Chain A
Amino acid sequence: MIQLGQYVVGGLATGSLYALVALGIVLLYRSSRVLNFAHGDVATLATFVAFTLLGRAVPFAAAVAAGLLAAAALGAAFFFFVLRPAREASLLGKIVITLGLALVLSGVMLITWGADTQVFPFPLSDTRVYRLGGVVVSEMSVGTIGAGLVLMGLMYGLVQRTTLGLAMRAVAQDTVAAQALGIPARRIHALTWGLASALGGAAGVLLAPVVYLDPYMMLDPFLKGFAAAVLGGIDSLPGAVVGGFILGIAESVFAGYVSFKFKTTLAFAIIILVLMVRPEGLLGREYHRRV
């Protein structure tokens, strides 16, 4: 039982990372119907920016904030300069464009920071642990889960409780109608891109101390976050969170009891099975297409 608790706590920590990544992906999909394959690379770039600033003795909070801002600026710029000119492109075309951005970004990071792994300094320790009735929790996991929950709460507040969130939801539902009502759709889109990229950046900063920092650091978490978003329903923000935690916990329990090596395979097997039963994901709304 204690063993199971241990795996679940481990799963919660990775799950909150997946949920953060998934939230960003869902935000973008809802607002501009784009699957952003560059999401992970934007996040890694944010982490690298923070890492470089930390190396120049910038305080931790300022460095991370600068990293997230850089990601946000990049996301918004990508929307304005690439995606908007290509707004006629099909879903496939947009996927291809973001794949192109992902290649460019990972190439830039390879040249700028090299392929070597770096140690990302973090104020929380991975080895200092707390005990909760036999279950060992590291300070880092507590920090990750806490930061994840706080960011998700902030997102919820922003989207559901503010005028800006209302505008974001309106634009996501029907851009033309929102524009007709005087909502500056372009700016809202750019803002959504910035917000989603910053969320991904936060996941990157939280992940970097656990794995080491290198240009391909976010590839696996991005794919899992993507999977989590699809699992929960790609147009549902609560679905992204639920999907992230389910995936994180399932993976951790499976790795503990069955096989560590095949945990990624399991993640995708779950998704394919869920999609065969519920093609719109767990919390996604079923929509009917017109011919």
Chain B
Amino acid sequence: MARTLVERYEDDLYLVKGPAAWTAVVALLAGLGVLPFLLPRLGMAYLLFIAVLASANVIVAVGLNLLVGYAGLISLGHAGFVAIGAYASGLLAARLGAPWPAAWVGAAAVSAAFGFLVGLPALRLTGPYLTIATLGFGIAVYQVLTNWTELSGGRGGLPVPALALGIEGMSAIQQLALVAIATAVALCWIAYNLARSHVGRALAAIRDSDIAAEVTGVSLTWYKTLAFAISAAYAGVAGAIVAQALRHLEPQAFTFLESITYFAMIVVGGLGTVTGGIIGALLLTLIPHYLSGVKQWLPIAYGAVIIAMMLFEPQGLYGRWLRIRRYFKAWPL
């Protein structure tokens, strides 16, 4: 295998290195772009809905991984941020008649603001204390949405107007799938950029030792709240996508169980890598869909997989892949 000597820092920063990697990336992007058009032709239009949910889950998982995997800050209340994003976009679109891009940006902004607020106690709390604070946040959001009926529409739920791109000959779900996939790709690209730049290094330094990070000049106040705000903004955008997919919002869609599922995604995929979050989110969205016939076994399978991953593959599936690749790079040595 050809190795290239990297002489400048800027060269090392390139996300995609070499023609082979470029081909793969272009092929992947083209495939994803064609997907919303291809699936109905193949008679698998129902998969469009799954693709939308998968995009939303990828966004949440990548955002959560920036917080948990990179910055080492635990959040067990991420469903709360998703809920805030979903309701913010729903309310903006339904009550104020905002067009969908504005509603989505609004969802991200509102969610990020809440993320900033949750990040403030995180400046002083670590470990179990931070866990309970974020968990409490997630439950508080759920309770407020359940009980504040003027805001959430109560038992009737909150209807969300459909997304319209204004393209002739495309069904509503096709358009949504296209937008959702594009958004997921864009946000993943941003996450890759954050992770490889000084921001990612600062977050990783905080994770490994926050005192040492502060001594070397990383502002804990800034980066910890930033990590929460970015992660929450990701969850907010995902919430807006979920709102569009469900078209009808109820607080039941954003419970503690969802928070655990998001957590399971990044654990299975791999903590502290963007790719790991993507893999985990895709797997934990697609597998339950195909196993819906044995639904009652699903929690057991989830739990067992999570325990097994932590015991045998703490680096996640992506970590295993990296090790396999490293092995074959040196092969047959």
Contact = CB atoms under 8 A, between A and B. Distances in A.
Interface of A: 29, 35, 82, 85-86, 89, 91-93, 95-97, 99-108, 110-111, 219, 223, 226-227, 230, 234, 261-262, 264-265, 267-269, 271-272, 275-276, 279-281, 289, 291
Nearest to B130: A275
A289 to B, nearest CB: 7
A110 B299 contact: yes
Contacts of B127: 91
Contact of A108 (B146, B264, B300): B300
Interface string B146-183: 11000000000000000000000000000000000000
Given A89-B314, A107-B296, A262 B143 contact: yes
Contact of B306 (A103, A262, A265, A281): A103
Interface in B68-96: 68, 72, 74
Interface of B: 68, 72, 74, 121, 124-125, 127-129, 131-133, 135-137, 139-140, 143-144, 146-147, 209, 211-212, 215, 256, 260, 263-264, 267, 271, 296-300, 302-307, 310-311, 314
9 contacts: A29-B128, A96-B267, A99-B306, A103-B260, A103-B300, A107-B302, A223-B139, A262-B143, A271-B133
Given A96-B310, A267-B136, A275-B124, 9 more contacts: A97-B307, A100-B306, A100-B310, A103-B303, A111-B296, A261-B143, A271-B136, A272-B121, A280-B129
A97 B300 contact: no
A11 B224 CA distance: 37
A85 B303 CA distance: 17
Q: Is the interface of A mostly helix, strand, loop or mixed?
A: helix
Given A219-B256, A279-B129, A264 B310 contact: no
Contacts of B121: 272, 275-276
Contact of B297 (A85, A95, A107, A275): A107
Nearest to B268: A96
B143 A272 contact: no
B296 A110 contact: yes
Given A265-B144, A271-B136, A96 B128 contact: no
Contacts of A280: 129
B49 to A, nearest CB: 25
A41 to B, nearest CB: 10
B143 A223 contact: no
A226 B303 contact: no
Contacts of B306: 96-97, 99-100, 103
Contacts of B211: 289, 291
B59 to A, nearest CB: 21
B302 A100 contact: yes
B72 A92 contact: yes
**Considering the complex of A and B, which 7 residue pairs feature the smallest CB-CB distances, nearest first?**
A268-B136, A103-B303, A107-B299, A104-B303, A100-B306, A107-B300, A100-B307
Nearest to B140: A265
B303 A264 contact: no
B136 A272 contact: yes
Given A223-B139, A272-B133, A234 B307 contact: no
Given A230-B128, A234-B128, A275 B133 contact: yes
Given A100-B306, A104-B303, A104-B307, A291 B212 contact: yes
Nearest to A86: B311
Contacts of B140: 264-265, 268-269
Contacts of B311: 82, 85-86, 97
A268 B112 CA distance: 21
B230 to A, nearest CB: 19
A92 B311 CA distance: 13
Nearest to A233: B129
Contacts of B124: 275-276, 279
Contacts of B256: 219, 223
B221 to A, nearest CB: 14
Given A107-B297, A265-B144, A35 B131 contact: yes
A288 to B, nearest CB: 10
A67 to B, nearest CB: 21
Nearest to A289: B211
Given A96-B310, A261-B143, A35 B136 contact: no
A242 B212 CA distance: 35
B304 to A, nearest CB: 6
Given A89-B314, A95-B74, A103 B302 contact: yes
A105 B307 CA distance: 12
Given A86-B310, A89-B310, A104-B300, A268 B139 contact: yes
